[in-house]
Amino acid sequence: QKEVEQNSGPLSVPEGAIASLNCTYSDRGSQSFFWYRQYSGKSPELIMSIYSNGDKEDGRFTAQLNKASQYVSLLIRDSQPSDSATYLCAVNSGGSNYKLTFGKGTLLTVNP
């Protein structure tokens, strides 16, 4: 079983819609969860982090964590064409303070 799984997409949504990105992880010892955004040809950029069950909101972004289901998601409200990118889920497998394990990413396209 892969450690961090994401649907590769592409996920296509119209401008103004809500984009929902999902991630599951296999290691129950994981404690920290991150979402990175990577534009084509650029480096990953941290956009959200979440550590406790529930929702965490930051502007148009909401991260949701359910440790019992080993599931983390990212919602992007009022999606804009500038949100078009690959979104990477990362997890500190085994509760490591150093190592983050990444999913393969979901390509999101927001259509004007």
Partner 1 sequence: DTAVSQTPKYLVTQMGNDKSIKCEQNLGHDTMYWYKQDSKKFLKIMFSYNNKELIINETVPNRFSPKSPDKAHLNLHINSLELGDSAVYFCASSHSAAVSGYTFGSGTRLTVV
3-state secondary structure of 83: helix
Q: Does 46 bind partner 1 (CB under 8 A)?
A: yes
Determine contact, residues 106/9, Cβ cutoff 8 Å.
yes
Which residues ranging from 64 to 93 are in contact with partner 1 (CB under 8 A)?
86, 88, 90, 92
Considering only 14-22, 43-51, 55-63, 67-75, which stretch makes contact with partner 1 by CB under 8 A? 43-51
CA atoms within 13 A on the CB side of 45: 10
61: nearest Cα among 51, 46, 39: 46
Q: Of residues 19, 37, 44, 84, which one binds partner 1 by CB under 8 A?
A: 44
Q: Of residues 38, 61, 71, 109, which one binds partner 1 by CB under 8 A?
A: 38
Determine contact, residues 73/63, Cβ cutoff 8 Å.
yes
Measured from the CB atom, is 9 or 20 closer to partner 1? 9
Calpha distance 92→85 (Å, rounded): 23
- The tokens 């949701």 sit on which residue? 64
- The binding site for partner 1 (CB under 8 A) comprises 31-32, 34, 36, 38, 42-46, 49, 86, 88, 90, 92, 95-102, 104-105
